C-alpha cells in the first residue's frame, strides 16, 4: 500500500464516520414533525459523502459501469418517489425488496470471490446475509403484490404449512452449516439461496391484509439485519451502523404493531387469521341494524359539539381523505371540535392514516393516538367510523371467544352516537362480526366512504346560510 492509498483510506474512513453521525442525527430529528425535514437533509448529505468517499477507493478501476448503474438507479428511483400516498405501503414493501436484493447479490458475489479460502466466521455471516436477504427479497415482493392487489389479499392456508416452512428453513440452515465447515462445496450455495427465497414466498402466503403493518415492520427489520451482516462481511463500520439502525427501527415498529394487535410475532407469522373466516355468519339475521341517510348524518354532526373521526383502511381504499378534509372544514366552521383517533394498526403500515390525512391537509395536531384519545369518547357526541372495523370492535374487550379478544381498541361505542360508514354488512377482512353495529347508539351509513362523506358535506353546505 503506497502512502497515497493510505491517505485515501483515511479520508474515506473519516467521510464514513461523518456519514454515520449524520445518519444517527437524521433519525433523531424524526422525533418531531417540526425538525423531521432536517433529518432528510442530514441523511442526504451523509449518503453523498459516503458514496463520494467510496469512489475514492483505490481498487476501483471501472468508473463507467458505476456511473451507468447510478444513473439507471436514479431513473428507477424517481417514479418510486412520486407514487400516490395511498400506494405508500406497497412502495415501502417494494423498497424492502430492493434493499434485500442488493444485499443478497453482493453476498453472492463475495461468496464466489472468496471461497474456498474463507474463515468460518466469515462464511457464517455471509450465510446469514444471503439467507436473510433472500427471504426478505421474495417475502417483500409477495407483500408488495398483496398490497397492490396483484396477488389475493386473503391468507392462503393449507394443512402442514408451518411444517413445510420450518423444514425449508432448517434445510437452508443445514446447508449453511455445511458450507461453513466445507467452504469448497460451492455447488451447494445456489440451493441455499433458492431455498431461502422460496421460504420468503411461503412465509408471506398465509398472511392477510390486516397483519400487513406488523409484517412490513418485520421485513424492515430483516432488511436492516441483512445489511448489518453484509457490513460484517465487508468489514464496513458504516454499513454495520446503518444496518443496526434500520434493524432496530424495524424491530421497534414490529413490537408496537404486534402489541397493538395483542399478538406475538410468531402468532402473526405462523397463526393466520384465516381459519375463523366463515364462523361468524350465523345469527346475524335477527339482529337489528339502524341505518341513516347522509342528510340525517349531517344533521346529527352539525348539532354536535365534539366529534371524533376514526379512519381505517376503507378510507384509504375509497381515497376518501380529501372528502374527509372537506367534512373537517365544514364542521370546524360551524364550531364543532373535530379530532381524529388513530389506531396504531389502522391501515396497512405503521403511520398509514397519518400520512393520508396529512396529504389531505388536515393539521397533524388534530391526529391523536389511541391511548391519548380513548378516555375522551364518553364525552364525545359523535364518533364517526370511516372504513375501520376490527380496531373498533368491542368484542375485543368483552368476548373471550373472539379471535381478537384482548386487542386494544378505540372505545367508539362509549360515544353518545356512533356512525359507521361501511359498504355493506359483510364482516370485515378477518371475517369477525362486529357487535358495534347492533348497538342502540349506532347508526350505519351504508355506501362508499368517499361518496357518503361527500354527501354529508353537501348537506352541511346546503343546510345553512
Residues 84-143 that bind other proteins (CB under 8 A): 85, 88, 91-92, 95-96, 98-99, 101-103, 105-106, 108-110, 112-114, 119, 121-122
Please, which residue, 166 or 364, has the CB nearer to other proteins? 364
Site for other proteins (CB under 8 A): which residue of 195, 205, 218, 245?
A: 245
Q: How far is the CB of 356 from other proteins (least distance, A)?
A: 9
Interface of this chain with other proteins, residues 289 to 348, rule: CB under 8 A: 332-333, 335, 342, 344
- 194 near other proteins, judged by CB under 8 A: no
Please, which residue, 333 or 464, has the CB nearer to other proteins? 333
381 noted as active-site residue: no
Please, which residue, 38 or 414, has the CB nearer to other proteins? 38
Distances, alpha carbon 447 to alpha carbons 341, 420, 456, in Å: 22, 10, 12
Strand ranges inside 270-350, DSSP E: 306-311, 337-342
Phi, psi (5° rounding) for residue 267? Answer: -65, -40
Q: At what angle do helices 321-333 and 352-359 cross, to 10 degrees?
A: 70
- Give the CA-trace dihedral at 263, 269, 273, 275, to 10 degrees: -130
Q: How far apart are CA 116 and CA 157, in angstroms?
A: 41
Contacts of 151 (CB under 8 A, 6+ apart): 142, 145
Q: How far is the CB of 216 from other proteins (least distance, A)?
A: 7
Task: Spot the catalytic one: 62, 211, 376, 390.
Answer: 390
* Beta bridge pairs of residue 368: 341
Is residue 84 classed exposed, middle or buried when 0-12, 13-18 and 19+ CB atoms within 10 A define those classes? exposed
Please, which residue, 336 or 418, has the CB nearer to other proteins? 336
- 364 near other proteins, judged by CB under 8 A: yes
- 428 near other proteins, judged by CB under 8 A: no
Site for other proteins (CB under 8 A): which residue of 132, 183, 246, 411?
A: 246
Cα 84 to its chain centre, rounded Å, is 16
Q: Residue 119: how many CB atoms within 10 A of its CB?
A: 11
- 17 near other proteins, judged by CB under 8 A: no
Q: How far is the CB of 287 from other proteins (least distance, A)?
A: 35
Stretch that binds other proteins, among 28-36, 172-180, 285-293, 445-453 (CB under 8 A): 28-36
Amino acid at each position: 500500500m503506497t502512502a497515497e492509498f493510505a491517505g485515501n483510506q483515511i479520508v474515506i474512513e473519516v467521510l464514513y464516520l461523518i456519514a454515520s453521525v449524520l445518519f444517527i442525527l437524521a433519525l433523531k430529528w424524526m422525533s418531531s414533525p417540526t425538525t423531521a425535514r432536517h433529518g432528510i437533509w442530514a441523511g442526504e448529505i451523509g449518503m453523498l459523502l459516503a458514496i463520494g468517499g467510496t469512489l475514492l477507493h483505490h481498487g476501483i478501476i471501472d468508473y463507467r459501469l458505476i456511473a451507468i448503474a447510478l444513473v439507471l438507479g436514479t431513473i428507477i428511483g424517481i417514479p418510486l418517489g412520486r407514487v400516490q400516498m395511498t400506494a405508500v405501503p406497497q412502495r415501502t414493501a417494494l423498497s424492502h425488496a430492493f434493499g434485500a436484493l442488493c444485499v443478497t447479490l453482493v453476498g453472492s458475489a463475495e461468496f464466489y470471490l472468496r471461497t474456498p479460502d474463507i474463515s468460518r466466521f466469515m462464511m457464517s455471516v455471509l450465510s446469514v446475509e444471503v439467507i436473510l436477504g433472500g427471504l426478505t427479497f421474495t417475502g417483500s415482493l409477495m407483500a408488495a403484490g398483496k398490497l397492490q392487489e396483484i396477488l389475493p389479499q386473503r391468507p392462503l392456508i393449507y394443512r402442514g404449512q408451518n411444517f413445510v416452512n420450518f423444514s425449508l428453513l432448517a434445510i437452508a440452515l443445514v446447508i449453511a452449516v455445511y458450507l461453513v465447515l466445507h467452504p469448497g462445496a460451492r455447488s451447494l450455495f445456489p440451493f441455499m439461496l433458492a431455498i431461502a427465497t422460496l421460504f420468503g414466498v411461503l412465509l408471506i402466503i398465509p398472511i392477510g391484509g390486516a397483519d400487513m403493518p406488523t409484517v412490513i415492520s418485520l421485513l424492515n427489520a430483516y432488511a436492516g439485519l441483512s445489511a448489518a451482516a453484509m457490513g460484517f462481511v465487508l468489514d464496513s463500520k458504516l454499513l454495520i451502523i446503518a444496518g443496526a439502525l434500520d434493524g432496530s427501527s424495524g424491530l421497534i415498529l414490529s413490537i408496537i404493531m404486534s402489541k397493538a394487535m395483542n399478538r406475538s410475532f410468531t402468532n402473526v407469522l405462523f397463526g393466520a387469521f384465516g381459519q375463523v373466516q366463515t364462523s361468524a355468519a350465523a345469527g346475524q339475521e335477527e339482529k337489528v341494524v339502524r341505518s341513516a341517510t347522509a342528510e340525517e348524518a349531517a344533521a346529527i354532526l352539525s348539532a354536535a359539539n365534539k366529534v371524533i373521526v376514526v379512519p381505517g383502511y376503507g378510507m384509504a381504499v375509497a381515497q376518501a381523505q380529501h372528502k374527509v378534509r372537506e367534512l373537517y372544514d365544514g364542521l370546524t366552521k360551524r364550531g364543532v371540535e373535530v379530532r381524529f383517533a388513530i389506531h396504531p394498526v389502522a391501515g396497512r403500515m405503521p403511520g398509514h392514516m397519518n400520512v393520508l390525512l396529512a396529504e389531505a391537509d388536515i393539521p397533524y395536531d388534530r391526529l391523536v393516538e389511541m391511548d391519548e384519545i380513548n378516555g375522551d369518547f364518553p364525552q364525545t357526541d359523535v364518533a364517526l367510523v370511516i372504513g375501520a372495523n376490527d380496531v373498533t370492535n368491542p368484542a375485543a374487550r368483552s368476548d373471550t371467544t373472539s379471535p381478537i379478544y384482548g386487542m386494544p381498541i378505540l372505545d367508539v361505542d362509549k360515544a353518545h352516537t356512533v356512525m359507521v360508514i361501511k359498504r355493506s354488512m359483510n364482516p370485515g377482512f378477518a371475517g369477525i362480526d362486529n357487535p358495534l353495529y347492533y348497538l342502540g347508539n349506532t347508526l350505519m351509513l351504508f355506501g362508499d366512504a368517499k361518496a357518503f362523506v361527500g354527501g354529508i358535506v353537501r348537506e352541511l353546505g346546503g343546510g345553512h346560510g
